[in-house]
Amino acid sequence: ENSFDWLSKLKVLDLSGAACENNEIPPHAFRENTNITKIIIPDNLERTRIHAFSSMTNLTYLGTNAGNLKLPESLKVLGAGTFFKDSSLEGKLDLPKNLEAIGAACFNGSAVGDKNSTVFIRNGVETVKNIDAADGQTGSKGAIFAGTTNIKSIVFEEGIQEIGDSFSNESSGLTSIVLPNTVKNIDGRAFRKTGLTGTVVIPASVKTIGASAFAKNTSVDNFIVGNPNI
């Protein structure tokens, strides 16, 4: 047996005591690894690079020793596609208080969330610009939670001015959103074909709504639009 064969059979990876260079997980570090089911990340992690943990279809636990999806408060940047298509990764998601940016398609197609899951998007967290251009990966700039299945509610906190392209496009589990009185632009397909229900309130501060931003939301009873000029 090859001395490195054990790596191909690895199911649990404990990085809690690891000294990661620059406190980062490198680009594509575990992409498409379908053997690993659990990864414990360091408490001092500051960044995940593009597609660091993407398409790990059997991954059910990714977090610190504090619990699944318990991301360290030191985390500043979630790179593009970090949890892309992690279809078995379920659980309550609390974004770290010190988070500064979330890359395109970060949670696209993942199963993060639970039946009561509300995600709070804090003012000051970059979700519109492409934060991974420096990695030579320009790609799409939006679709942060596109295609997620278990997040039920998203609350955008006061101060946020723009919601990016395809932010939650085709998120079948999303039933409610709270938009702040500071938001000015809702980009195209931001909430297209979700599970939104009841009444959706669009604040008077909104000046532009992109194409198909709320298209195919068949369970919405009423839209209240504060600005009559859009």
CB 86 within 8 A of CB 111: yes
Average pLDDT, the chain: 93
Round to whole Å and give the CA distance between 177 and 158. 13
Q: How far apart are CA 113 and CA 119, in angstroms?
A: 8
pLDDT digits (tens, 9 = 90+) for 18-39: 999 999 999 999 999 999 999 9
Look up the pTM and report it: 0.92
Which residues, in sequence order, are CB contacts of 24 under 8 Å at separation 6+?
45, 46, 47, 48, 49
Question: 38 has which bridge partners?
Answer: 12, 61
What letter would DSSP give residue 155?
Answer: E
Provide φ and ψ at 134, rounded to 5°: -65, -20
